[in-house]
Amino acid sequence: MTEITDRAEVARILADPRFVVPEADAAATTPFDRFRAHASRFANGAPHDARRGRLDQLAEALRPAELARLAAARTRRFLEAEGTRRVEVAAIARSVPVATLAEALGFSDPPALPPLVATVAHRYASGAPTDAAAEDLAITRLLSAAPSGTDAEARVLAVQLLVQAFTATAALVEGAVRRLEASADASPSSPSTRALLLETLRDDSPVPLTRRVSPNGALVVLRLDGPDREAAAAAAEPRTLAFGAGPRACPAPHLALAIAAAIIDELRRARASEPTTDAPKPATEEAAHAESR
């Protein structure tokens, strides 16, 4: 196995059709492995192209503004239920994006789906089971919740969108919040949420690596978060590979950014409205009246 870390070389390999993805087992019989075998991500050639075309159509039918509205509303409800000071960013990041996409795509019971997606996310990427029975049950439930009136392949692709959004969008939100909290100026207006997200994508890729099979059959690990020596030599910023590159790049980066931005905007507004604790408070009601006079 070879690992490529330089972003310029990684970008060239991602654009090279001779490098293919490791394929899922087309003869798989378990529910989860059958799902993985029918996703576009683990197929090459004509099957990939046909599935990717349908996946792109699903993504193109979604509207960033509507996704942002749904994500903002879900985040506000989460904050109201949990309390601003108690809420964990990870809890929002791992539920709101999936539920938002599920609602927009027409899944049944969107709030119930994030835990199911969390159950299958690791195995989806690696192929290695953690708890095969739980993963089979989760994927069966996800496919059952997929939009009615669609064929089996469309249901697989709709679930694929949810699963692929889960880890990456959650990591993007969490990374951007960490960057904001570490900033010397964490005011509501600086840096902008969009700048924050783009910096996170560039410097702290939510998806750190991907894999390809070289023309000679060797497995190649491609780091999406490594150095960019070409950019450094030109005194330029490193290229961003968080959404991949070439013909297999993420089908809907603008949708992920719309959801992540809406979540972070709501978190920033909530934190900006928190009462400060350093303002002097009158010790008694009499003192309060005295101060008001």
Give pLDDT tens digits for 118-156.
Answer: 999 999 998 999 999 999 999 999 999 999 888 999 999
Rounded Cα distance between 152 and 140, Å, is: 12
Q: What is the pLDDT of residue 85?
A: 56
H or E element in which residue 226 lies:
none
- b or e along 62-76 (b: 16 or more beta carbons within 10 Å of the residue's beta carbon)? bebeebbebbbebbe
Domain boundaries defined on the chain: 24-204+252-274
What is the pairing mode between strands 2-4 and 209-213? unpaired
- pLDDT exceeds 90 at position 166: yes
Q: What is the pLDDT of residue 148?
A: 87
3-state secondary structure of 245: coil
Q: Position 151: which residue type?
A: D
Express each pLDDT in 23-61 by its tens digit.
999 999 999 999 999 999 999 999 999 999 999 999 999
Q: What is the dihedral of CA 86, 90, 95, 101, to 10 degrees?
A: 130
| Matching residue, tokens 């795509």 | 105
Higher pLDDT, 15 or 276: 15
Residue 211 bridge partners (DSSP)? 221
Q: What is the pLDDT of residue 275?
A: 63
Q: What is the pLDDT of residue 291?
A: 36
Express each pLDDT in 83-126 by its tens digit.
655 668 999 999 999 999 999 999 999 999 999 999 999 999 98
Q: Position 158: which residue type?
A: A
DSSP 63-102: -HHHHHHHHHHHHHHHHHHH-TTT--HHHHHTTHHHHHHH
Instruction: Return the percentage of the chain with pLDDT > 70, whole number.
Output: 89
Express each pLDDT in 168-221 by its tens digit.
999 999 999 999 888 755 555 578 999 999 999 999 999 999 999 999 999 999
Name, in order, each residue with C-beta under 8 angstroms of 163's C-beta and a sequence gap of 6 or more.
Answer: 117, 120, 121, 124
Total Cβ atoms within 10 A of residue 134? 15
pLDDT band of 161, cuts 50, 70, 90: very high
Rounded Cα distance between 112 and 120, Å, is: 14
**214-234: average pLDDT:** 95
Task: Taking each helix axis as running N to C, give the angle between helix 64-82 and helix 253-272, from 0 to 180 degrees, rounded to the nearest 10.
Answer: 40
The angle formed by the CA atoms of residues 157, 159 and 162, to the nearest 5 degrees, is 115
User: Which strands make up the sheet holding 209-213, listed edge to edge?
Assistant: 2-4, 219-223, 209-213
CATH 1.20.58.340 for the 24-204+252-274 domain, yes or no? no
